[in-house]
Amino acid sequence: MATLAPSLERGSQVYRAGPQFVRVRDFARMRADLVDELVRDGHVRTAAVERAFRAVPREMFVTDDRQDAAYADAPLPIPLGQTISAPSMIAIMLEEADLREGMKVLDVGTGSGYNAALLAEIVGPRNVVSIERHRDLLAFARENLRNAGYEVQLAAGDGTLGYEPEAPYDRIVVTAGAPRLAKSWIHQTKIGGRIVAPVGRSTFSQTLVTATKTAEGKVSTRQGTPCAFVPLIGKEGW
Ligand code: SAM
């Protein structure tokens, strides 16, 4: 098969196969290009986060009709009106979380399961618990994670209440917009541990907050980049 023309989409090429034209996506190439861009733009800063992005196949966490956009640096729709976040936003959050192998992490807002897979690459699969309020979305994530080869513990429920059975956590990473840091998250984080969450007074925009637990019931917070996540719905959310 001879290459006819590179397509406009990152990493895909058009071939002539007899009288037909066939487009082949090279996901490994698309992934490598995206990670190079995230490193160049300073969103990925550490070797651990870079390695995770190079390892996790994002195309396995987006729907069939979004395969072409799997490596666009943009949020994409997933079932039930939710989104898989933009890779640069996820990279910023993972860098803020300052993760190390062996840390116990709660991922609030499983969505597609992509962030849970990245976390599993960094801290180890048995150290990640991911909670999602939509059971049908959790089934989507479970299948994505299984197909991609990740054994992450998944829970259905209201993540604004954290996930007590596996607490305490070294890190809690929240990927839905919260009105405030939930008391349960602070309670379930180890002293010296961190919470990274988008927090804002409206459901449309937030600021990324990194909170370090300094003592029981106490955190010191740092405000980061402006962001826009889907709302965190629940007892301690909207
Ligand atoms: N991290 C996800 C990924 O990698 O695909 C994307 C998360 S999406 C931006 C936000 C998710 O948070 C949605 O799937 C939504 O259903 C979920 N969510 C909202 N409120 C929640 C709650 N109280 N507990 C658990 N999940 C919640």
Atom from ligand 1 closest to the CA of residue 233: 20
From the list 7, 12, 85, 202, the catalytic residue is 85
pLDDT of amino acid 12: 61
pLDDT of amino acid 5: 47
pLDDT of amino acid 7: 43
pLDDT per residue rounded down to tens, the chain (238 residues):
444 444 444 566 666 777 777 667 899 999 999 999 999 999 999 999 999 999 999 999 999 999 999 999 999 999 999 999 999 999 999 999 999 999 999 999 999 999 999 999 999 989 999 999 999 999 999 999 999 999 999 999 999 999 999 999 999 999 999 999 999 999 999 999 999 999 999 998 999 999 999 999 999 999 999 999 999 999 999 9
Tokens (6 digits) for 119: 């976390």
The neighbouring-strand residues paired with 221 are 211
Q: Tell me which residue has tokens 């917009």.
A: 177
Which protein residue's CA is at the shortest distance from atom 24 of ligand 1? 159
Q: 6: helix, coil or strand?
A: strand
Residues with Cβ within 8 Å of residue 209, at least 6 apart in sequence: 181, 195, 196, 197, 198, 199, 221, 222, 223, 224
Residue to substitute in 59, 60, 82, 90 for testing ligand 1 pocket (most ligand atoms within 8 angstroms of CB): 82
Which protein residue's CA is at the shortest distance from atom 17 of ligand 1? 109
Helix axis angle, 114-123 to 87-97, nearest 10°: 40
> Residue 196: which of 108, 83, 86, 104 has the closest Cα?
108
Does the beta carbon of 132 lie inside 6 Å of ligand 1? Answer: yes
pLDDT of amino acid 13: 62
85 is catalytic: yes
Amino acid found at 4? L
CATH number listed for the domain at residues 22-227: 3.40.50.150
